[in-house]
Amino acid sequence: MANAESKTQPTMVSVDEFIGAVADARQRADAFKIAEMMERLSGHKAKMWGPSIIGIGSYHYKYDSGREGDMCRIGFSPRKGQTVLYLVDGFEGHAELMTKLGKHKTGKSCLYIKRLSDVDEGVLEELCAESLKWMAEKYPE
């Protein structure tokens, strides 16, 4: 199987400029805070991945199908009306933390929040730290 080039690649776009262009002032402030937290937890600087994902760190994956590529270890995107956090390990093993988080929605590996003030930031930080720990075990740096 030929590998299709992933659309989500690191870019040279400035993370600060991207966040600075977020229209909603509260979401913009939240994005700066989330980026700082993820950088601190990971030890890596944030980079833009594709046009709208702020990603921290990277890893190489290879699926059983033969498809492979690179992606950020953890990341988020301030989208219109909500911020999406990408936690690759998902949420199944974090049931207790999820009940303490506050107002949110989830997808397979996506955590949707409207505002940081809607969630317990300490619990959010713990979820991010656990996701990075899982990534370090599955995809050592």
pLDDT at residue number 88:
86
pLDDT surpassing 70 at residue 5: no
The first and second tokens of residue 50, run together, are 């594709």
pLDDT of residue 2: 42
Tell me: pLDDT of 66 over 90.
Answer: no
Q: What are the tokens at 89?
A: 């390990």
Residue boundaries of the structural domains of the chain: 15-138
* Count of C-beta atoms within a 10 Å radius of residue 124: 22
For range 16-38, the mean pLDDT: 97
DSSP 24: S
* Residue-level pLDDT at 133: 95
Does domain 15-138 bear CATH number 2.60.40.10? no
* Whole-angstrom distance, CA of residue 94 vs CA of residue 44: 24
Query: Does residue 1 have a pLDDT over 70?
Result: no
* Single-letter amino acid, residue 79: R
Contact residues for 114 (Cβ-Cβ < 8 A; gap 6+):
81, 82, 83, 103
pTM: 0.90
